[in-house]
Amino acid sequence: MPSSSVRLRLGTRASPLARWQADWVAAQLRRQGSEIELVHVTTSGDRGPLPIGRGADRGLFTKEIQAELLAGHIDLAVHSLKDLPTDAVRGVCLAAVPERAPVNDVLVSDCAGSLSELRGGARVGTGSLRRRAQLLNARCDLLMRDLRGNVETRLRKLHEGQYDAIVLAEAGLRRLGLAREITQVLPLELALPAVGQGALALEVRTDDATARQAVLPLEHAATRAAVTAERAMLAALQGGCLAPIAAWGRREQDTLVLTGRVLSADGARKIEATLAAAAAEAAVLGRRVADALLAQGAAALIEAARAG
DSSP per residue, 255-274 = EEEEEEEEE-TTSS-EEEEE
Alpha carbons 228 and 146: distance in angstroms, whole number: 30
Tell me, yes or no, if 23 is annotated catalytic: no
Alpha carbons 26 and 64: distance in angstroms, whole number: 20
Q: Which of 83, 105, 164, 208 is catalytic?
A: 83
Burial class (CB in 10 A: 0-12, 13-18, 19+), 16: middle
Alpha carbons 150 and 168: distance in angstroms, whole number: 10
Cβ-based neighbour number of residue 268 at 10 Å: 11
Alpha carbons 45 and 58: distance in angstroms, whole number: 10
Cβ-based neighbour number of residue 115 at 10 Å: 22
Cβ-based neighbour number of residue 194 at 10 Å: 24
In angstroms, what CA-CA distances link 81 with 95, 101, 121, 197, 297? 12, 12, 34, 7, 27
| Half-sphere exposure (Cβ direction) of 117: Cα atoms closer than 13 Å | 12
Nearest in space to 123 (alpha carbons), one of 154, 160, 166, 155: 166
Alpha carbons 239 and 301: distance in angstroms, whole number: 10
Beta-bridge partners for 202: 78, 96
Tell me which DSSP letter residue 187 carries: P
Residues with catalytic annotation?
83
